[in-house]
A and B are shown apart, each in its own frame.
Chain A
Amino acid sequence: EAGVAQSPRYKIIEKRQSVAFWCNPISGHATLYWYQQILGQGPKLLIQFQNNGVVDDSQLPKDRFSAERLKGVDSTLKIQPAKLEDSAVYLCASSFRTSGVIYFGPGTRLTVL
């Protein structure tokens, strides 16, 4: 079974630029999560989708971050404009149902200069 796919794996941008990350969850997984992991810290949930609807986005900085899950499958996370403090690893994860085991992708390491 293929795992959660993410791209790109690495991205370097300058502050105030825009960036987008893509995620393809495991086939059949209805729940999709985006996490931000700053160096030395545990992952912090940004947004959770159930199919193509948002379940929780309370920790998403909505003035600069946006996410969508078209047709309840792939998802994109966008940052516009980026700040220095956005430098982190962005992890996508999915689960078959909201209470199931969560499978994580390899993450995208973002560096904002």
Chain B
Amino acid sequence: DAKTTQPNSMESNEEEPVHLPCNHSTISGTDYIHWYRQLPSQGPEYVIHGLTSNVNNRMASLAIAEDRKSSTLILHRATLRDAAVYYCILRDPNNAGNMLTFGGGTRLMVKP
């Protein structure tokens, strides 16, 4: 499985934008980049995913580098409820196993 690398933790001020980076230098051409987040005492929840183009949804934006070896999850205005562990994962839809392997993620702390 292609691996991802994320900073262990990041800090942000409330109502400011947050840029969470992810490196995936061994990504294959068919891997989608997925982001999930896990709030305290809850299971992970889907945030956003993309293949090549930047993506936006109501929760966040995903900026994908042109060579696809890195991506950035953007929270436009962090709130206290965004404090969570954010996981960047590669997922190959052509792989029947499609394990969705999680690394350690980035723990985002939001200061009021």
Mask: chain A, 74-111; 1 = CB below 8 Å from B; 0 = not:
00000000000000000101000011011111110000
Q: Say yes or no: B43 contacts A45, CB within 8 Å.
A: no
CA distance A90 to B87 in the complex (A): 18
Interface size class of B (residues with CB under 8 A): 20 to 34
- How would you classify the secondary structure of chain A's contact residues: helix, strand, loop or mixed? strand
Cβ of A72 < 8 Å from any Cβ of B?
A: no
| Closest Cβ–Cβ distance, residue B53 to chain A (whole Å) | 18
Query: Would you call A42 and B104 a contact (CB within 8 A)?
Result: yes
| A4 partner residues in chain B, CB cutoff 8 A | 43
Residues of chain A within 8 A (CB-CB) of B42 are 106-107
Q: Chain A's nearest CB lies how many Å from the CB of B111?
A: 22
A55 at the interface (CB under 8 A from B): yes
| Smallest CB gap from A45: residue in B | B99
Give the contacting residue for A45; candidates B93, B101, B105; CB below 8 A.
Answer: B101
Complex-state Cα separation, A41 to B101, whole angstroms: 12
Q: Which residue on chain B has the smallest CB distance to residue A98?
A: B98
Asked if B11 lies at the interface with its beta carbon under 8 angstroms from chain A, I say: no
A residues with CB within 8 A of B:
4, 31, 33, 35, 41-45, 48, 50, 55-56, 91, 93, 98-99, 101-107
- CB-CB < 8 A to A99: which residues of B? 32, 91, 93, 98
Q: CB distance A104 to B43 under 8 Å?
A: yes
Partner of B44, one of A31, A43, A48, A50: A43
Q: Min CB distance, A56 to chain B, in Å?
A: 4
Q: Is B80 located at the chain interface by the 8 A CB criterion?
A: no
A35: chain B residues at CB < 8 Å are 102
Asked if B65 is an interface residue, CB under 8 A from chain A, the answer is no
- Known contacts A93-B43, A106-B43, A107-B43: does B97 contact A41 (CB below 8 Å)? no
Closest to A103 in B: B46
